[in-house]
């Protein structure tokens, strides 16, 4: 049994969630590889695939949607596909918030078993000029809203589902 974990990330925060998913699967005895979406040439050697993306302006990043588009048939024939988005930043009200605009299509294209949204991270000094202007306009403060306990728990449900499916 082998699981592919891939995540599209502009500034690294979502990629780190992908690595945390790999580590939790590994702790539960499931072999998992992390690849960036651009590095994925095929998914057919994997039993299951976890695909994530940072959310920008309400959408997944293009490398993640390109991956789904290019491998949709093969993804649907895996034993399981799980999707995650990472974006909401800010307290007490997460902002921006909500599911990415295209998530229903992505779930349908992959026959994903689940889609979850995890908080994201803002580090102003890593952002480009235009990004900083948007963050300023939205009055979003620097902060890391990734909930590692929730991320590990979610990866645990993936492991449990794969074990239950008898792979």
Ligand X SMILES: Cc1cc2nc3c(=O)[nH]c(=O)nc-3n(C[C@H](O)[C@H](O)[C@H](O)COP(=O)(O)O)c2cc1C
φ and ψ at 38, to 5 degrees?
-65, -25
Tokens of 145: 């809203």
E strands, 75-156, where?
A: 80-86, 114-118, 121-122, 143-144
Applying CB under 6 A, the span of 4-12, 29-37, 73-81, 102-110 interacting with ligand X comes to: 4-12
Note whether 151 binds ligand X by CB under 6 A: no
How many residues bind to ligand X according to rule CB under 6 A?
Answer: 24
**Residues 8/14/18/21 CA torsion (nearest 10 deg):** -150
E strands, 9-129, where?
A: 31-35, 48-56, 59-60, 80-86, 114-118, 121-122
Q: 25 to 54, contacts with ligand X by CB under 6 A? A: 54
Which residue, 145, 131, 156, is CA-closest to 21? 156
- Nearer Cβ to ligand X (74/131): 131
Q: How far is the CB of 9 from ligand X (least distance, A)?
A: 3
Q: 90 to 129, contacts with ligand X by CB under 6 A? A: 96, 120-122, 127
- Nearer Cβ to ligand X (70/134): 134
Note whether 58 binds ligand X by CB under 6 A: yes
Note whether 18 binds ligand X by CB under 6 A: no
Note whether 21 binds ligand X by CB under 6 A: no
- How much of the chain is in helix, strand and coil states, percent to nearest 5? 40, 25, 35
With CB under 6 A as the contact rule, the residue among 1, 70, 107, 134 that binds ligand X is 134
- Residues of this chain that bind ligand X (CB under 6 A): 9-15, 54-58, 86-89, 96, 120-122, 127, 131, 134-135
């Amino acid at each position: 049994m082998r699981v592919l974990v891939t995540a599209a990330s502009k500034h690294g925060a979502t990629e780190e969630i992908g690595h945390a998913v790999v580590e939790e699967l590994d702790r539960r005895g499931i072999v998992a590889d992390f690849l960036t979406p651009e590095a994925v040439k095929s998914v057919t050697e994997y039993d299951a695939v976890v695909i994530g993306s940072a959310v920008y302006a309400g959408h997944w990043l293009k490398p993640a949607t390109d991956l789904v588009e290019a491998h949709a048939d093969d993804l649907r024939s895996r034993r399981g596909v799980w999707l995650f988005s990472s974006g909401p930043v800010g307290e007490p009200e997460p902002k921006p918030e909500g599911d990415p605009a295209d998530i229903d299509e992505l779930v349908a294209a992959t026959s994903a078993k689940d889609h979850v949204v995890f908080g994201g991270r803002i580090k102003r000094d890593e952002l480009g000029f235009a990004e900083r202007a948007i963050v300023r306009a939205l009055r979003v403060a620097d902060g890391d809203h990734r909930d590692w306990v929730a991320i590990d728990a979610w990866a645990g449900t993936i492991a449990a589902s794969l074990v239950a499916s008898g792979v």
